[in-house]
Amino acid sequence: MNFLKRLFGRDDKFYDLLEASADEAKNSACILAGLMPFLDDKVAIQASLEALSQSRRKHKRISQEITTQLCRTFVTPLEREDIEALSSGLSRVPKTMEKIVERLLICPLNNHAESMIKQVTMLEQAATIVSVMVHSLRTNPHVEEIEDEYGQLQTLEGDADRFMISLLGELFNGQADAKDALFLKDMYELLEKAIDRCRDAGNVVFQVVLKYS
């Protein structure tokens, strides 16, 4: 019986792996959020970078296991391309977080730190919503059951995009010197990209639910 379950994909391994991947993406956002009060502290930044590196290594192992199980399983609970797309989308979230903290280690923010806090808060919210959506797949939900989360995610992404534009406007019309302006522009755009990554993963979940409803 256990062999047949493994053979035909009737067990929950793919849901377990995708949920673990989504939770690790959320964890990376929480690590970044926890760093926000210490953006001028290189020791704290280094510790956060190490935590993100560990999280990303764990995420890579999960992604590799998903690939391995796809090769070993004849029938999967979701279509193979959907599992691959969601796994790929989720893996991009912690990768972007790591890039953000790597840059902070090169150039800690002594000023302008407050301008990043709202973006990071929005990013943490987006990653949390994606985790909820991925966990819902196990129950084979109808579209109506995830519409609220999907709508919240789309709204967050739109708000984040408009907020980044306002930050860039303030940056280039303000008193920041050229070096700070270039660095902050890079940070704002990376944070916006991380939110976009969450939106992309949420889109995959929504499309899967539409397909199976």
**Averaged pLDDT of the chain:** 88
pLDDT at position 44, please?
Answer: 93
**Interval 77-119: pLDDT, tens:** 899 999 999 999 999 999 899 999 999 888 877 666 777 889 9
Q: Structurally, how many domains does the chain consist of?
A: 1
**Interval 20-48: pLDDT, tens:** 999 999 999 999 999 998 888 899 999 99
- Cα–Cα distance for residue pair 110/95, rounded to 1 Å: 25
Q: Which amino acid is at 156?
A: L
pLDDT at position 110, please?
Answer: 63
Which whole number is the average pLDDT over 120-125?
Answer: 95
The fraction of the chain above a pLDDT of 90, given in percent, is 63
Name the DSSP class of 79. -
Tokens in use for 44? 């704290």
Place of tokens 């990013």: 123
CATH code for the domain in which residue 126 is found: 1.20.58.220
Residue 1 clears pLDDT 50, i.e. is over it: no
Which whole number is the average pLDDT over 6-28?
Answer: 83
Q: Which amino acid is at 63?
A: S
Tokens in use for 66? 């998903």
Residue 2: pLDDT band with limits 50, 70, 90: very low
Tokens in use for 68? 């391995």
The domain of 61 spans 2-212
